[in-house]
Structure 1
């Protein structure tokens, strides 16, 4: 493992320090006792032994163990960490005595991201449109809301909302903010506060205020597009005004482009012929699973007559039929043309930090979804807790004072 990590450029100076907890011992069979034991070990590792990163090898897939590790590592102690199941970590390739390097590479990419590194970046040629005239990078935001699926009523449930934001011109790091809100609520009620946090982080890292904003909003159901825009756009604008005033720039008003990302739909693209080419002899289809070429974009005929929308199949499907992402441009102050916003979006799909290929949706939206999933992990189990508190109160008690300050502006959730 160390050899692969070093090969990929992650320098582990002093090797590993080892810690252990007997998770089968009767003293750690409930969640509270387990978290207390983990907190003791994590605090010693971070404070006493000056560890920067913890790799937790779990004996098996166990939801309670995973939740405990993330709550302690992310919320209480504030130390970067990764969980991996023992039989996956020690898996060897079939017919060989060699370990699965692919697993180690994935862990190495996560380590690099969580400690502030970048795994890959767009070339200058593919970064066109991502900087303003003063060479200040476009500020890219992603937002999502996830709702519970196994509760009987909205009153008994909570939703998780998140906003992630870029912090430089590499567009590979997206720290995020997370909030809890009423179950089933589509609109992000604390959008302003989360955008302020992301804008503050961007300003600290870049040293300048962005003049262009690209906002990719995930988690909106069909029919709610303009409802979400009507309620969230004023919050986003208010965040800009408040932040500008705090920096003695009361007239600060960057240009905002707001898009909704739709991942779940029934549209699929299938090439009419294998290795097909267009009139310019450009390849438009590949033989792999009879899918269209990654980057295929459709913005007419099957698109809405009422919206500025388009489909992009940005990934090469490894199995079955690839699913294109559907983008709706609901608000555009930057005046992007169709080709420009489509090219920017497609290029960004190659920057996802823990993948070596392009992905299905723009990373900002994907990161926001991952952060919501991590938030669900933090509050997991509240439906089984008894008491007179409401679901919101129990969830907020679980989240505490939110993610620890030492890691809140990192990719801890990746």
Structure 2
């Protein structure tokens, strides 16, 4: 049947709840469903329906008049490999699902497992049992099998094993089973789980000068992709401190003394994750009991035991403090540089490590025996995929246009000496500095005057003021900060973004202490200042008319009662160089789109005021959400967006697309050229094989990296009534990667989303209040 009332169609492929189907009704239902779908081919809307065979779903794709496929065709083909290995199964592979019932009932799961596994000769050695459901790779002789066991107390127990399902390899239950089974393989290889990933503690990388240890590991997931069921695997690293918590506390006491030790120690430690090496388990520090000593006791079973005696019974190998907790480490640049030599792998090293790992699984006798029990194996080769390289964009700046080197994805050199598209003059402004930063302030003012002329950005001589170096004196100034202390920056931004709405620029004096780089630094500062005043730097050709691009991101403010902060930015002109920005603060647990609905309504009214018309097409790029939340994005957030549109007028019906953007993904792609393994060139699009069958999705490599492996960005079109072909959607998305005004190069994300991210981050980190409405039309947060 069609989706229930309230569910949204669009091009997003929405799943319904699976229902029961008898074997004799499958063929008739399939025929009826397809006939119904054929009648729905019309116009530019694309709707997806699902029918289910038993407990697994089959996707029906409707081919609309405007689009025959979810893959593009433009661009130069390029052969790549992906970090995916196919799951291979023996012919006619089926997973058999059984329900297990005990009489009398056994409360203990461990006891239930022990009683069931007494019958290995009947059920076999290959089995997975979670306490209620039993999975077997073979079918038992009878649909219902009755077994008898006896407990240690001599109690007779009847076990009834009933067949409930026969699951094909593509069943969602089988996909879940594959992941469970592979985690078992990783444990066989003596890898330890921390968080979601597994690491190898027997092969650590030590950085003794920083008291750090790196555990190499892997992030894995097995899913149904477009071409096959595959395991996506990527290299992961866990950075741990090799000092104990006690060592850290002792060092902290030496630094801060006894007076504020307990306060600072609690601030540094509470929320962190520690790992105890005697059992390789992780624990979160929730509190510190300052009134307890090692002689205090606690209940262990039926007896009391002191902490001192308890730890005498376990290994005394020191614990390790990890960075996986709620508060990240504050690494210095030198530490990050040393870490990157171990963690930032080049494409050839990354691919070699992945292939070696899968090879090690096949060489390990115990791991291979476990796979053989279930009739499963992994392909020995990485997956071959075909991508496409989109042509480079022409950058328009002022009255000039220019091309850039597509391999470096950088046009900082090409833009030098060219006037900006538009930049209001800066005639009345202040520069404030401390007494010790007088020379840096004078150098900055002089250099800004030199670099602004060729940009067409007229800057008059500022009023230069010296201020005292303490927080209270910064409340009404724009300032060269003597250090990067957060409280000083926060006080400036809070006053100038809320109380006295004024574009501001903060510069740390250390940034200005390198004379050889001062011209480049001053140029970037001048560009930022021009942006914050409403200037327009450059653009690319956007062929779609009356288009509004919207970016949405969320931030959770932990310092203000964990409130949700939603940021929305929306383009106001054809060149995508002017923006409306709005940030809303809501209480913890409140749906973020409640406030963003009002923000989008305000953006549409601002667009109307700016252009004397409303946009005919709106494309929303939303920050990445988990796969399980996609249905909520469509059914809740899209409806909120539609309500915002309807509030403008009943006759206003623009075409709408909603795209979920994911940056933190495990997918990697490698380009083989003349025997070398390289990163794919910028502009590479992948929309086959590694995409998901139930989604309209694609990957774009939109940046060049000098070190390590490039990370693609994943785009999932969850709702679409635009009528745009995949080529058009991919090309437009790629164009928008050129428009982030903080960098004169491609970015690996859509700039509309990143503007929203910058705004939400500024409010959540520094302001904790909604910015003044007078700044809504300015990029004051860059």
Are 1:9 and 2:456 matched, yes or no? Answer: yes
Are 1:111 and 2:529 matched, yes or no? Answer: yes
Q: Does structure 2 retain, via aligned residues, the 8 Å contact 1:121–1:172?
A: yes
Q: CA deviation at 1:7?
A: 2.7
Are 1:349 and 2:349 matched, yes or no? Answer: no
Residue of structure 2 equivalent to 1:252: 652
Are 1:18 and 2:18 matched, yes or no? Answer: no
Q: Rate the CA distance shift 1:184–1:147 in 2: closer, same or farther, 3 A.
A: farther
CA distance in structure 2 between the partners assigned to 1:116 and 1:404 by the alignment? 16
Q: Does structure 2 retain, via aligned residues, the 8 Å contact 1:211–1:255?
A: yes
Q: CA deviation at 1:321?
A: 1.2
Q: Does structure 2 retain, via aligned residues, the 8 Å contact 1:146–1:219?
A: no
Q: CA deviation at 1:186?
A: 6.9
Q: Does structure 1 retain, via aligned residues, the 8 Å contact 2:534–2:777?
A: no
Q: CA deviation at 1:323?
A: 0.9
2:718 counterpart SS class: strand
Are 1:272 and 2:690 matched, yes or no? Answer: no
2:694 to 306, 320, 326: 306
Residue of structure 2 equivalent to 1:406: 774
| TM-score for both structures, normalised by structure 1 | 0.76
Are 1:102 and 2:520 matched, yes or no? Answer: yes
Q: Does structure 2 retain, via aligned residues, the 8 Å contact 1:174–1:364?
A: no
Are 1:78 and 2:524 matched, yes or no? Answer: no
Q: CA deviation at 1:116?
A: 1.1
CA distance in structure 2 between the partners assigned to 1:211 and 1:352 by the alignment? 24
1:59 to 477, 482, 486: 482
Q: Does structure 2 retain, via aligned residues, the 8 Å contact 1:147–1:184?
A: no
Are 1:213 and 2:625 matched, yes or no? Answer: no
Q: CA deviation at 1:225?
A: 1.2
Q: CA deviation at 1:259?
A: 0.5
CA distance in structure 2 between the partners assigned to 1:173 and 1:354 by the alignment? 14
Q: Does structure 1 retain, via aligned residues, the 8 Å contact 2:658–2:719?
A: yes
Q: CA deviation at 1:187?
A: 4.5
Q: Rate the CA distance shift 1:175–1:19 in 2: closer, same or farther, 3 A.
A: farther
| TM-score for both structures, normalised by structure 2 | 0.41
CA distance in structure 1 between the partners assigned to 2:570 and 2:707 by the alignment? 31
CA distance in structure 2 between the partners assigned to 1:57 and 1:372 by the alignment? 24
Deviates more, 1:79-88 or 1:217-226: 217-226
2:593 counterpart SS class: coil
1:180 counterpart SS class: strand
Structure 2: gaps of 5 or more residues: 1-446
Q: Deviations over 1:213-272 (max 9, x none)?
A: 01100142331112122111111111111122xxxxx31111101100001111111101
Q: Deviations over 1:341-364 (max 9, x none)?
A: 000100111111122111101111
Residue of structure 1 equivalent to 2:23: none
Deviates more, 1:309-318 or 1:4-13: 4-13
Work out which structure has the larger RCO, using CA pairs closer than 8 Å and 6 or more positions apart in sequence.
Answer: 1
2:601 counterpart SS class: helix
Residue of structure 2 equivalent to 1:387: none
Structure with larger Rg: 2
Q: Deviations over 1:156-203 (max 9, x none)?
A: 412211110001011123331111224466753312101012112211
1:203 counterpart SS class: helix
Residue of structure 2 equivalent to 1:291: 679
Q: Which has the higher strand share?
A: 2
2:663 to 238, 263, 271: 263
Are 1:144 and 2:590 matched, yes or no? Answer: no
Residue of structure 1 equivalent to 2:263: none
How many residue pairs are counted as aligned between the two chains?
335
Structure 1: gaps of 5 or more residues: 29-33, 43-53, 94-98, 132-136, 245-249, 277-286, 380-397
Residue of structure 1 equivalent to 2:604: 199
Are 1:179 and 2:584 matched, yes or no? Answer: yes
CA distance in structure 2 between the partners assigned to 1:71 and 1:221 by the alignment? 33
CA distance in structure 1 between the partners assigned to 2:536 and 2:689 by the alignment? 39
Q: Does structure 1 retain, via aligned residues, the 8 Å contact 2:586–2:592?
A: no
Deviates more, 1:342-351 or 1:179-188: 179-188
CA distance in structure 2 between the partners assigned to 1:267 and 1:192 by the alignment? 33
Q: CA deviation at 1:405?
A: 3.2
CA distance in structure 2 between the partners assigned to 1:243 and 1:261 by the alignment? 27
2:746 counterpart SS class: coil
CA distance in structure 1 between the partners assigned to 2:589 and 2:498 by the alignment? 25
